[in-house]
Amino acid sequence: MIENDLVDCMIALPGQLFYTTQIPVCLWFLTKNKKGNAEQGTKGREGETLFIDARQMGSMVSRTTKELTTDDIAEIARTYHAFRGETDSGMYEDKSGFCKSAPIEEIATNDYVLTPGRYVGAAELEDDGVLFETKMQELSQTLYQQMQEAEKLDTVIRQNLEVLGYGA
């Protein structure tokens, strides 16, 4: 299927989207023709496959179920349509951690594995401008304060248990 250039797009979705299974799923978009079509306003995509990793999208609507928001769905659709070259969807560009257009040669180099996460990589982390040493010092102080508070709460809990007759 890959060498015959039939796989157009792979979209990894988050787990918990379906009531019958909690595992993540992957949508496969297949096509017989990746040639551009001026009438439909699409560009040629021969030898390329789009990978979208949407596993971090969505929000929990219950303890066990997640839903993609309208904005999430629109972002995925816009990315796919831009990849196809549809002019009203903007220009397509790879986004680290979200989407990548990979040539068949790169897919072959990865032993024909079609897992989007393998191609899109990790999302870029934003630098908050705080030095590691400074951040670690602040976090350590917060942790020690919380540990002191936990000791005080343990003492209060023990006292309350003794008053109720459940002391050790």
Q: Average pLDDT, stretch 10-25?
A: 88
C-alpha distances (whole Å) from 78 to each of 65, 90, 106, 140 are 25, 8, 24, 43
Q: Which two tokens stand for residue 92?
A: 């397509």
Task: Give the separation between CA 107 and CA 91, rounded to whole angstroms.
Answer: 23
Q: Average pLDDT, stretch 149-157?
A: 95
pLDDT in tens, 48-62: 999 999 999 999 998
- CATH fold of 7-120, please? Rossmann fold (3.40.50)
Q: Is the pLDDT of residue 37 over 80?
A: no
pLDDT in tens, 67-84: 999 999 999 999 999 998
Angle (CA) 104 106 112, round 5°: 70
Instruction: Tell me how far the alpha carbon of residue 133 is from its chain's centroid.
Output: 29
Q: Average pLDDT, stretch 145-160?
A: 95
Task: Give the separation between CA 13 and CA 53, rounded to whole angstroms.
Answer: 7
pLDDT at 20: 81
Radius of gyration of the chain (CA): 25
Task: Give the separation between CA 22 and CA 15, rounded to whole angstroms.
Answer: 5
The residues spanned by each domain of the chain are 7-120, 128-168
